[in-house]
Structure 1
Amino acid sequence: MDNIVSHCFQKNDKFANSLKEAFEHFVNQRANKPAELIAKFVDSKLRAGNKESTEEELERLLDKIMVLFRFIHGKDVFEAFYKKDLAKRLLVGKSASVDAEKSMLSKLKQECGGGFTSKLEGMFKDMELSKDINIAFKQHMGNLRYPQLSSIDLTVNILTMGYWPTYPVLEVNLPMEMVQYQTIFNKFYLGKHSGRKLQWQPTLGHCVLKATFTQGKKELMVSLFQALVLLLFNDSDELSLEELRAATNIEDGELRRTLQSLACGKARVLQKNPRGRDVEDSDKFQFNKDFANKLFRIKINQIQMKETTEEQKATEERVFQDRQYQIDAAIVRIMKMRKTLSHNLLISELYNQLKFPVKPADLKKRIESLIDRDYMERDKDNPNQYNYVA
């Protein structure tokens, strides 16, 4: 299309603007969906395992994606889904290329400004700072004497809550050695950063376990939940679902998916009795000492829940809440500066300032909410005019 505009229409401004408006119209027919799908497509290309593209090809593809990105109205929807996927790539080391990640971030910043990418940049900053913290912590551990922890290596990512997606906080039962390691790290970190609070996130943890089978030793790359289950078989020959639940305190659905991955997947390091694809209440589990695999280090994939409609709605709901805060802030900012303003002029100012599509009815609701909370009031002589309440 760019070639047509350049060569056939001599870069005519009216034609270029009409073309842009037409593209914006059809791309945004489905409200938030285009933004979500573009974010998912970017994730598929930036994820490790994408062998299709060289660095140069990936860079050209990102440029093409940005052309399409410019047409979408709900850029905050894109940011919400992009942030969720970026977090997964960073935390489990699944980024195909750090250079490509930073290139995409640079393109988004150039297109939307620093405010749009500040949290995304904060995520990268957290990962870089965590590397330095881990180096210092390993030096700290070298000065202490904990023989029971000498065979365990702990790496911690310190995530700033405001930058990252919200994760559920689950309480699980950790082995004594892990609890001791956490206590030492808490004391080390909070000793250097007083006033901060650490909240451990077991759902994001992963481990490398050394396992001994009949045919030799292996290393198993597993999630923290998978590790908690497997470690119990050091002291037990057979465990039921109920016994595993009581010992780990892992939520029932998560525990069943974890056991499926260990006993029903490709790498069956546990044996389930009776056999079957689903985990039932009466099932019992044993360590599969005869497990064999030609690889020394084996990744045991988790059984992932598909991103449900509810999860997508939850992400969209967070976007909706963020938009409400932004609308409220914009209204207060305008009224604080203008002091008095008519309804139509206020709506016009809001459309100029807000960077996402919004309906007049939604703006009216936010105005009413601010009036109820005494941020502004209707003029007594002219109900179509608002006054700022200092």
Structure 2
Amino acid sequence: MSNVSKHKVKHRRGLSPYLREIYSTLFEQVGRVLQCSKDEQPLTVGYNKLYKYVEFICRDRQQSPLATQLFEATDSSINSLVTQVLLGEGDELLKNFVTLYDWLYHRLDILERIFLYLDRTYLLNHPLKKTIKENGFYTLYTSLTISGKWDDLYNSFEQILCRVRRGEISDMSLELEFFTRYHTLAKWDTLDKRLLESSRAYFTEAHDYVVSNIPPENRFEINYRASLKELDMWKACRMNDEFLDAMHRVLWDYLILYKYEDDLREIAKSMFQTNKIKLLHKLWNELILKNTLDQREYLQLFLQGFADFVSWSVNNVVDDSAMSELLQPLIDLKSDISETVSHFKSPNKVLVYKARDSFQSAISNGKTLYKLSKSIDNFFRSAELSLETKKASLEDILLLFKSIQDKEYFLKMWKGDLSKRLIQRTTPSLELEDSMLQMLGNEVNEDIIKPMRTMVHDMTESHDLELGYQTSSQLLTTSCEFHPLVLNSYSWPVIKGTAALPPDLNSLILDFQQFYLDKWSDDKKHKLQWCPAMSSMVIEAHFPHGDKQLHTSEFQGLVLLLFNDHDSLSFEDIKALVRMDSGTLSGVLYSLTNGKHRILTKDDNAYSMNKDFSDKRKVIKLRQVQMRLRGGDAVEEDDESPGVSNEDRNELIRAFITRLMKHKESYPLEDLINAVLEKYIIQRQDVETLIRDLIQKDYLERGLDNYIKYKP
């Protein structure tokens, strides 16, 4: 850098010889200060002497001409240096600017010390004058602008800035040195506005690139970390808070949240799935603290993404868990979701409510409720857990029950499972059953729970009756065990069905009936009716390959007992002997001749004992099936929930459809059918039949474009 031009001293008329000499000496020193060369030597200045010269001139009321002459000298030097020094492009141009700026800052600092008296007594108080440094830098700015170097510097910096953002430049020392100096001149320019506008364009393109090339679960993390790096860079440039706040908004609006109405829901779900809680917390805070229409819309998308995550989690647990093992995974999942929500600090009520509602919706579909009911059934049947451990789990079961939307429907399934546990005597603790029912009674109408508690109490009373009967009966023998249960017909799900009993069993039933009626002789309202469809048998069977203990229904047992006296029987023979209806008998014979345990064989429409039957297990429980005829073929159907009749289920579904339509008022037929299929295990044609029933009963009506409307 060189500037060897000399500054002429202007002598003003009317000045004394002494003042002229002072002017001459003073501006010779100014010329030395503003002179620079490639081999520049350290500059020595006699500040005290020159300061007194300036003070003497100012006291002679020469401040204005003195300031004018000083500014003319600095302006001339700066304009010359801009032309000579600011050459090249890119890094070279930035380096030359830094060199020029530092040189000028040092020289203006010297002049400021020499002309301190002028600065403080005149320039600082003048409404139209600038201070020495301010004038010098303003001259530098105007010279850069007029020469076009200002835009050249900005374009070079912007190109380098793009490379920095892309990670192509790791050492930013030159860029920081340049920008901190360049930005001091920007108060006379709209630099901040230009930077923000160019950043919007750059971050919009960057966002589109991330969306096209990065998986959803990683997009926010990449963009968020890029935004932190960007803000750190501008802080290092010593930008003011106003610019940093504006850049923060640009980063969120154009890099992070740009077009998020398209993918925020998916991104939030993916981040929850990959447990990126800290990053989600950052996103949540940004959304919850902004009170704009866009931010509120994004907040709703975030919450929908969270709801999708909860639904996805529940479905995964349901799909990955065995029928009898769903309970504990669901309890653990609910706890995990609550813990996840707790990471989001106040205000997080909307997140708490969304977690509750989405979990309720996810576990309330028919498939999940069915598996959950079977898992709870297994919990009460299990003998592996101690009673104390089970009692501690009742609160968790209650929490899951509270989350179920259609509690009455679920209790129907619960009641069916409870009846089977009690009748089959597979529940280790009646006390535990009753404790659970008492807790459920606080959540629903007491009239629903009361029959179920009566069922439990019936078992206790039946046990006492059985002990009394065994003591008094003369008919009981060691070859036949008889365990009668007296069940309240108003509480139990009675299954109809009749059959002819063997004489010895029939005698025991009549004997017990007399024992019971004698006990209640003072109360004529007590009556007994035998229910073979709810009874079971344990039969000791002898096979050539080993003896087995067969656990059967009473209908299955009655059929098997026939083969004590007969080698082979036709369908009609069996029907005549046991006096069952054809449908029931078909199901019984199908269960005994098909599947894993084929106790009977069928040959030429005749049934006989399977002499080749073998099994590693000593105790064998036979499945019960019901038979339906479809096109002349028998179709197997598991008898999983005898406590819930088809009519009960249909009534529940009608009530669900009515409630849904009352809320929706108008709903597409296809969507209505899908809503029912999602919640209940039912065939599509059955749903359509129930909807037609409700239309015929004037609860609903069919509108235009295949819409269903609610009729108030």
**TM interval, short-chain normalised:** 0.5 to 0.7
Alpha carbons of structure 1 residues 267 and 64: separation in structure 2 relative to 1, 3 Å: same
Which residue identity does 2:485 align to in structure 1?
N
Aligned to 2:360: 27
Separation in 1, partners of 2:339, 2:449: 31
Picking from 609, 615, 626, the partner of 1:287 is 609
Q: How many Å separate the matches in 2 of 1:179 and 1:243? A: 21
How far did 1:319 drift?
4.8
Which residue of structure 2 aligns with residue 46 of structure 1?
380
Relative to structure 1, the CA distance from residue 3 to residue 87 in structure 2 (aligned partners, 3 Å threshold; closer, same or farther) is: same
**Hey, what does 1:249 align to over in structure 2?**
579
1:123 maps to a residue whose letter is: M
Structure 1 residues 73 and 209, CA, compared in 2 at 3 Å: closer, same or farther?
A: closer
Contact 2:356 2:403 in 1 (8 A): yes
How far is 1:316 from its partner? 2.6
The amino acid of 1:314's aligned partner reads E
Query: Residues 42 and 315 of structure 1: is their aligned pair in 2 closer, same or farther, counting only changes over 3 Å?
Result: farther
Residue 126 of structure 1: CA displacement?
0.5
The CA deviation at 1:156 is 0.8
> In 1, are the aligned partners of 2:341 and 2:351 still within 8 Å (CA)?
no
**1:119 counterpart residue number:** 451
The residue aligned with 1:237 is 567
1:36 shift after superposition: 5.6
| Aligned residues of 1:81 and 1:315 also touching (Cα < 8 A) | no
Aligned counterpart, 1:162: 490
Which residue identity lines up with residue 338 of structure 2 in the other structure? D
- 1:170–1:303: structure 2 CA closer, same or farther, 3 Å change rule? closer
Q: Shift in Å at residue 87 of structure 1? A: 0.8
Distance in 1 separating the partners of 2:526 and 2:365: 37
1:105 maps to which of 427, 434, 437: 437
Q: CA deviation at 1:129?
A: 0.6
Q: How do 1:66-77 and structure 2 match up within 5 A?
A: 66-77=398-409
What residue ranges of structure 1 are gaps of 5+ in the alignment? Answer: 274-281, 324-361, 366-390
1:190-224: per-residue Cα shift (whole Å, max 9, x none)? 11124211111111111122333345544322221
Q: Secondary structure at the match of 2:550?
A: strand
Among 193, 205, 226, which residue is 2:535 paired with? 205
Question: Deviation at 1:296?
Answer: 4.1
Q: Which has the larger radius of gyration?
A: 2
User: Secondary structure of 1:209's match?
Assistant: strand
Q: What is the CA distance between 1:62 and its match in structure 2?
A: 4.9
Matched to 2:580, the amino acid is: I
Q: 1:2 aligns with which of 331, 338, 341?
A: 338
- 1:207 partner letter: M
- CA gap of 1:272–1:26, structure 2 versus 1, over 3 A, is same
Cα distance in 2 between the residues matched to 1:35 and 1:261? 27
8 Å contact 1:20–1:71 — kept in the other structure?
A: no
% of aligned pairs identical?
30
TM-score, normalization: structure 2? 0.38
Aligned AA (1:184) = D
Residues 1-390 of structure 1: pairs in structure 2 closer than 5 A: 1-3=337-339, 6=342, 8-10=344-346, 15-16=348-349, 19-20=352-353, 23-24=356-357, 27-28=360-361, 33=366, 38-48=372-382, 62-95=394-427, 98=430, 101-112=433-444, 114-141=446-473, 144=474, 146=475, 151-167=479-495, 169-193=496-520, 194-215=524-545, 217-273=547-603, 283-289=605-611, 291-303=613-625, 305-306=637-638, 313-317=646-650, 319=652
Q: How far is the alpha carbon of 1:21 from its aligned partner?
A: 6.6
Task: Give, in whole Å, the separation in 2 of the partners of 1:110 and 1:224.
Answer: 37
Whether the 8 Å contact between 2:430 and 2:456 is mirrored in structure 1 is no
Distance 1:316 1:299, change over 3 A: closer
Corresponding position of 2:203? none
Q: CA deviation at 1:43?
A: 2.8
| Whole-angstrom CA distance in 1 between matches of 2:548 and 2:538 | 10
Structure 1 partner of 2:163 = none
Instruction: State the distance in 2 between where 1:72 and 1:306 align.
Output: 25
Contact 2:417 2:641 (C-alpha < 8 Å) held by counterparts:
no
Unaligned stretches of 5+ in structure 2?
A: 1-336, 627-636, 657-693, 698-712
Q: 1:73 to 1:284 in 2, by over 3 A?
A: same
Deviation at 1:244, TM superposition (A): 0.8
1:138-194 CA-to-partner distances (Å, cap 9, x unmatched) read 1111xx3x48x5632211111111222242x22211111111111111111111124
CA contact (8 A) 1:208 1:221 kept: yes
* In 1, Cα distance between equivalents of 2:444 and 2:470: 40
Alignment TM-score, normalising by the size of structure 1: 0.65
Change (3 A) 1:104 1:17: farther
Looking at structure 2, the residues matched to 196 and 289 of structure 1 have their Cα atoms a distance apart, in angstroms, of: 46
Distance 1:271 1:224 in 2: 20
For residues 102 and 163 of structure 1, the distance between their equivalents in structure 2, rounded to whole angstroms, comes to 15
Count of residues paired in the alignment: 308
**Contact 2:540/2:547 (<8 A) preserved:** yes
The 10-residue stretch of structure 1 (208-217 or 193-202) with the greater mean CA deviation from structure 2: 208-217
Residues 455 and 487 of structure 2 are in contact (CA less than 8 Å); yes or no, is this contact kept in structure 1? yes
CA distance, structure 2, for counterparts of residue 181 and residue 216 of structure 1: 30
Quote the RMSD (CA, aligned, Å): 3.9
